[in-house]
Structure 1
Amino acid sequence: MNIQRFTAPTAREALAKARMTFGDGTLILSNRPTAAGIEVVATGEDTLAALDRNELSRQGKRQPSDQPASSPKVDPNSQVVDDTTQLAMSTLSFQDYVRERMLRRRHEAINGQSSLEERSQPHRANPSAVRSAPAQITPFQAPAAITTQPTPRPAAQTTSRPASRPVASPTLAPASSLMPQGIVDELQAMKTLIEDRFNTLTWLGQTRQSPIHSNLMLKLIRSGYSPTLSRTILERMQEDIAAPEAMRWIMDVLTRNLRTDADTSAIHVEGGTYALVGATGVGKTTTAAKLAGLCARTHGANSVGLITLDTYRVGAHEQLRAYGRMLGVVAHLAHDRAALQDLLGLLSNKKMVLIDTTGIAPNDPRKRDMLDVLDIAGVNRLLVLNAGGHGDTLDDVVTSFKTGGVQQSILSKIDEAAKIGPALDAVIRHQLVLRGVTMGQKVPEDWERADAAKLIAMSMRAPTKSAFDPKSADLGFFFADSAPIHAGQFHA
C-alpha cells in the first residue's frame, strides 16, 4: 500500500508536498505535530483501487468451484465505488471505508459457510424445502440464528455415507458494537474538526488567490469588525468584481444591515417610557439628560419626567437633579419596584419618562434584581453601549442585557472611540435598533440621530497604525474558528 509521510514546518507545506506526490486524488490519513514540524500521512485514490482489485482476486481464490449457480453473488466493488467518491480527505472517511470492507468480508464468510453446510447435509424429504432460497443478510443487521434439523434416512444410506458434523454458524454483531461508544463519539468529533479545518483552509486559499478579497478582509479586520461578520460578507461577494465596486458593495451591505430609526420619528419626538440600562461608566445619566433636554425643547419642560434608580453610586441622584434644574424638570428617586410604579402612575401624563438605572456589570449578581424591577408593562429598555469598548466586552454586554423582541440601543462616547467598528459589529450581529449616538458632555447639543451610512463610512476610514493590526499571515488565526452568520440573520 503506497502510504507516505511528509514533514514540513507548517501543515500547509506538508499538504503541498502530499499533493505534489499523489496529485488531486490525495487522501490525508492523519496529521500530528512532531519535533521536526507537522507530519502528514497521505496516500492516493489509486491505492484504494489496488486494494479493491486485490480483494476481488482473494475472494475468487477462496470461492469453491462446485458452488451452485443459483447462489447469490456479492460484488464488493459495487459499494467501493460509492465509498471512494464520498471520501473527503479525512481520517474518519478512510476508517469508515475499512470498517465497511470488514463487514462485507464477514457477510461473505457467513454466506459461504451456510452454503457448505447445506451441501454437507443429506437431502430432505420435502423437495420444496431444498428449493427455498436462504434469507438475505444486509449490512449493519444481526442475522437470526441458523439452525439445522436432521432428516431421517434409510439405514443403507446412513451406513454408506458418514453423517456430517454440524457447523456452528457465526453471528454478526451490529456495527455499533464494533467499537465502544466513547470512541465513536471521539471519531465523530474528529470528523467535525477535520471538516471545519479543511473548509477554513480551502476558504483562506481561495481568498489569498484573489488580492481584492484579501485586502478587503484585512480592511474589515483592521476597522474593528469581527471575523464572523467579515467572512459572512466576503462569502457573498462576487468573484469578478473590481476593487472600487467591491468596497462600495461592502459598505452598502453593512449600511443595509445596520438597523436604525431613520424611517420613524426621533425618539424624543415619539416619546414613551424608557429605562437606560448598561454597564458602569457608559454615560447613562448624561444620555438621559440629553434626551430630556431634546424633549423639553420640542414639547416643553412639563412634558418630561425623570426618575433614578441609582441608589448605589455616590452622588447619582444629585447629578440627575442638577441636570433637571438646568432643564426645569424635577428628578425623582425610586428605591424599589413599588415606588417606581407609583412614580410612573404620577408621571403618566408626560410625553417622555426617562429612568436612570445603576450601572451593572454583565456578571454582577445584582443585575437580575434590577431587571426584575424594570419588568413593568410599558417600560422600554434602552441599552447604552460605549462606542470605544472592546468587541468581546460589547458582545458580552449585549448578550447579558438583551431581552425578547426588538432591543433598542444607543452608542455613547463616540468621540472617544479610536474605532467604532466593534460597536457597529455588535449592533449588526445582534440585530439591535440604533436610536442615536452621543458625543461630548454638552446637554442636549451632543446628540445625533443614527445615520447608518455616516456611521459605516466613519468606521471604514483608514485607522492609524496600531500594534493590534493584523498582518496577511495572521488571517488564518482569525478565521480558524469563525463560522459565518446564518442566512436568515444577514442580508447581502
Structure 2
Amino acid sequence: MKIRRFYGKDMRDVLKQVKDELGGDAVIMSNKKHADGIEIIAAYDKEPESSTQELPKKQAKSVGSQPSKTPTLSEIIGDTGPDSLKALLEKQAKSALNESTTQIQVEQSNSPATVRKPEPVRQNTADQSALKEMRQELSSLRNILQFQVSGLLEQENNRKHPLHSYLVQKLLQMGISNSLAEEVVAYAPESADERQAWLFLLKLLANRLQTKQDDILSQPGVVALMGPTGTGKTTTVAKLAAQAAQKYGPDQVAVVTIDNYRIGAFEQIATYGKIIGCSVKKAQNANDLSDLLYQFRNKRLVLIDTAGFGQKDARLIKQLDTIKQKSCVNIRKYLVMQANCQYRVMQQTVKEYRQISLQGCILTKLDECYSLGEAISVAIENQLQVCYLTNGQKVPEDIQAADTKFLITSAARLYKKFGLIHTDTNNIKNAAVAV
C-alpha cells in the first residue's frame, strides 16, 4: 500500500484530484485544514491505470435528450466511485474487513496442525483516528452551516420587519432576555413609529411585571428571608426590623437567625437588634427554631435570617428542609437576589429555591446596577412577585416597597445611560426621558 498527499482549495477540489489520479479504490486516511486549503492523505494498493477518465458515449448522448437534474458527485468528478462520505466510510470498513480476513486465512493455512479460533476483526489505530477526525470535521461543518443559515434567516427577517428587529436589539441592550424580547416585540403595532413602539413595549413590560406593595410590614406573622450568600439578607432583615419597630414599636418585633456557618453572623444581627431595641435570638436546629417561634407567638412580626449558600451547596437542602418542617407555623418565604447578577445566575437561583413555596422576592443592590433588564426578565418569566427594593447600606432608609413604574423607568434610564453605544458621559442629560 502506498501513500500520497493531495492539496486543494476545498474538499471537492482535493477529492477530485484523488479520484483523477488514484481512481475510485483509493482510501482516504486523514484530512487537515490549512491556511491555504485542505490537505488529504490517500492510500492505494496499485498504480492507477490512467489519470483521466472520459464519460461513456451513451451517457454523453443522453445528456441532451433527458431533462436536467442535479448532478451527483461522481458525475461532477467523472468517476463511478462513492458519491457520499457514508459510502466512502463503508467502502473503507469493507476493505479493512477483507484484509483482516485474508490475514487470518493465511495464518490458518501455515499451521494445519493447530486449530485457531478467528479473532474479532478490529480496525487499526490509524483508521479509527482518521474516522474520528472526519466525524469531527463533519460536525464542525454542520455547526458552521447551521450558524450561517440562522444568520441568513435573521437577515431576511430584519429586511422584512426592520422596526421589530431594531426594537429587539434595544431590549437586549437593556438586559431583557432574548425570549422575552421576541415575545413582547411581536405585539408592537406595525403602524407606530420608533418612539411610540418603544413606549408601548415599556408599558407592556410594566403590565407583565408583578409587584406587592409593602407586603411584609403590612401583614403580621413570621417571615424568612432566603437566598445565596452575599445578597444582603442580614442587612435587609435589619432594615425591615427597624421600619417595623418605628411603625409598631420595638416590643412587637423579633429576629431569629439560623445562620450557624458564617463567622460573626449572630453578632452582626445582634448589634442591629440592640440599636433597634428588638429581641434577637439564635436557633441551632429545627427544634430550637420551633421553640423560639412559640416564644415569639405574640409578636406582630418575626423575621428569620437564614444562612447564605450557593446553589450547588448540599447544606442548602438541609436548610430548606428545616424551613419545611416548620411549615405548620405558616412561615412566609421571600427570596433575596442581587439585581446586578447575571441572568443565568438568577434563573438558577429561582430554580433551586422553588423547592419551597415563595411568596415573592426582594431585589437588592440597585445602586450597583448597570442594567435592570436581567432582574425584570427573571421576575416576569418565573411569575415571581417583587416586594421590596434596596439601594444602599443605610438602615433603615435604603429600602422601599417595589413599584412597577419605578422599576421599568429605572431600567430604561440605565439603558439610556450605559446601554447605548453612542452614549457619551459628557452629554447625558434628562435620562429619565426614556419613559
Normalised TM-score (structure 1): 0.54
Residue 359 of structure 1: aligned partner: 308
1:220–1:460 Cα contact (<8 Å) kept: no
Correspondence 1:325 to 2:277: no
Task: State the 1:267 CA deviation.
Answer: 2.0
Which deviations, in whole Å up to 9, do the C-alpha atoms of 1:75-106 show, x marking residues without a partner? xxxxxxxxxxxxxxxxxxxxxxxxxxxxxxxx
Residue 382 of structure 1: aligned partner: 334
Task: State the 1:215 CA deviation.
Answer: 2.4
**Partner SS, residue 374 of structure 1:** helix
1:306-345 equivalences under 5 Å are 306-345=255-294
Q: 1:400 aligns with which of 333, 349, 352?
A: 352
* Matched residue type, 2:175: G
Residue 211 of structure 1: aligned partner: 162
- Structure 1 pair 308–425 and aligned structure 2 pair: CA distance change class (3 A): same
Q: 2:377 aligns with which of 422, 425, 447?
A: 425
* Matched residue type, 1:303: Q
Residue 277 of structure 1: aligned partner: 226
For 1:198 and 1:353, locate their aligned partners in 2 and report how far apart those are by CA, in whole Å. Answer: 58
Residue 176 of structure 1: aligned partner: none
For 1:211 and 1:235, locate their aligned partners in 2 and report how far apart those are by CA, in whole Å. Answer: 13
Residue 286 of structure 1: aligned partner: 235
Q: 1:449 aligns with which of 401, 409, 412?
A: 401
How many residues align? The count is 289
> Greater shift after overlay, 218-227 or 279-288?
218-227
Q: 2:244 aligns with which of 274, 284, 295?
A: 295
- Structure 1 pair 406–397 and aligned structure 2 pair: CA distance change class (3 A): closer
For 2:416 and 2:389, locate their aligned partners in 1 and report how far apart those are by CA, in whole Å. Answer: 20
Task: State the 1:34 CA deviation.
Answer: 12
- Structure 1 pair 239–196 and aligned structure 2 pair: CA distance change class (3 A): farther
Task: State the 1:235 CA deviation.
Answer: 2.1
Residue 258 of structure 1: aligned partner: 209
- Structure 1 pair 328–271 and aligned structure 2 pair: CA distance change class (3 A): same
* Matched residue type, 1:223: M
Correspondence 1:435 to 2:387: yes
Which deviations, in whole Å up to 9, do the C-alpha atoms of 1:405-454 show, x marking residues without a partner? 55410001111111121111111111101111011111111111111111
- Structure 1 pair 238–343 and aligned structure 2 pair: CA distance change class (3 A): same
- Structure 1 pair 229–301 and aligned structure 2 pair: CA distance change class (3 A): same
Task: State the 1:207 CA deviation.
Answer: 3.3
For 1:430 and 1:200, locate their aligned partners in 2 and report how far apart those are by CA, in whole Å. Answer: 30
For 1:256 and 1:349, locate their aligned partners in 2 and report how far apart those are by CA, in whole Å. Answer: 38
Which deviations, in whole Å up to 9, do the C-alpha atoms of 1:162-191 show, x marking residues without a partner? xxxxxxxxxxxxxxxxxxxxxxxxxxxxxx
1:269–1:298 Cα contact (<8 Å) kept: no
2:241–2:253 Cα contact (<8 Å) kept: yes
2:256–2:283 Cα contact (<8 Å) kept: yes
Which deviations, in whole Å up to 9, do the C-alpha atoms of 1:281-320 show, x marking residues without a partner? 1100000011111111111111111000111111100000
Stretches of structure 1 that go unaligned for 5 or more consecutive residues are 1-6, 9-32, 38-49, 53-193, 471-492
* Matched residue type, 2:319: M
Task: State the 1:386 CA deviation.
Answer: 0.4
**Partner SS, residue 176 of structure 2:** coil
Note the aligned Cα RMSD (angstroms): 3.2
Task: State the 1:221 CA deviation.
Answer: 1.1
* Matched residue type, 2:385: V
1:269–1:295 Cα contact (<8 Å) kept: no
1:290–1:443 Cα contact (<8 Å) kept: yes
**Partner SS, residue 393 of structure 2:** coil
Task: State the 1:211 CA deviation.
Answer: 3.5
* Matched residue type, 1:278: G
For 2:223 and 2:159, locate their aligned partners in 1 and report how far apart those are by CA, in whole Å. Answer: 48
For 1:396 and 1:218, locate their aligned partners in 2 and report how far apart those are by CA, in whole Å. Answer: 25
1:82-93 equivalences under 5 Å are none
**Partner SS, residue 259 of structure 2:** coil
Task: State the 1:238 CA deviation.
Answer: 2.5
1:146-165 equivalences under 5 Å are none
Q: Which runs of 4+ in 1 moved over 3 A?
A: 33-37, 194-204, 207-211, 403-407, 462-466
For 1:204 and 1:424, locate their aligned partners in 2 and report how far apart those are by CA, in whole Å. Answer: 28
2:370–2:418 Cα contact (<8 Å) kept: no
2:286–2:322 Cα contact (<8 Å) kept: yes
Which deviations, in whole Å up to 9, do the C-alpha atoms of 1:186-206 show, x marking residues without a partner? xxxxxxxx9999788546522
- Structure 1 pair 204–304 and aligned structure 2 pair: CA distance change class (3 A): farther
2:164–2:186 Cα contact (<8 Å) kept: no
- Structure 1 pair 257–410 and aligned structure 2 pair: CA distance change class (3 A): same
For 1:396 and 1:202, locate their aligned partners in 2 and report how far apart those are by CA, in whole Å. Answer: 31
For 2:298 and 2:406, locate their aligned partners in 1 and report how far apart those are by CA, in whole Å. Answer: 36
For 2:185 and 2:295, locate their aligned partners in 1 and report how far apart those are by CA, in whole Å. Answer: 53
2:220–2:300 Cα contact (<8 Å) kept: yes
Normalised TM-score (structure 2): 0.60
2:216–2:223 Cα contact (<8 Å) kept: no
Q: 1:459 aligns with which of 411, 422, 426?
A: 411
- Structure 1 pair 224–306 and aligned structure 2 pair: CA distance change class (3 A): same
Task: State the 1:351 CA deviation.
Answer: 1.2
* Matched residue type, 2:211: T
Correspondence 1:235 to 2:235: no
**Partner SS, residue 237 of structure 2:** helix
1:275–1:356 Cα contact (<8 Å) kept: yes
For 2:353 and 2:421, locate their aligned partners in 1 and report how far apart those are by CA, in whole Å. Answer: 30
For 2:185 and 2:36, locate their aligned partners in 1 and report how far apart those are by CA, in whole Å. Answer: 36
- Structure 1 pair 336–411 and aligned structure 2 pair: CA distance change class (3 A): same
- Structure 1 pair 259–200 and aligned structure 2 pair: CA distance change class (3 A): farther
Task: State the 1:404 CA deviation.
Answer: 5.5
Stretches of structure 2 that go unaligned for 5 or more consecutive residues are 1-8, 11-32, 38-66, 70-144, 423-435
Task: State the 1:328 CA deviation.
Answer: 0.5
For 1:331 and 1:292, locate their aligned partners in 2 and report how far apart those are by CA, in whole Å. Answer: 11
* Matched residue type, 2:219: E
- Structure 1 pair 240–341 and aligned structure 2 pair: CA distance change class (3 A): same
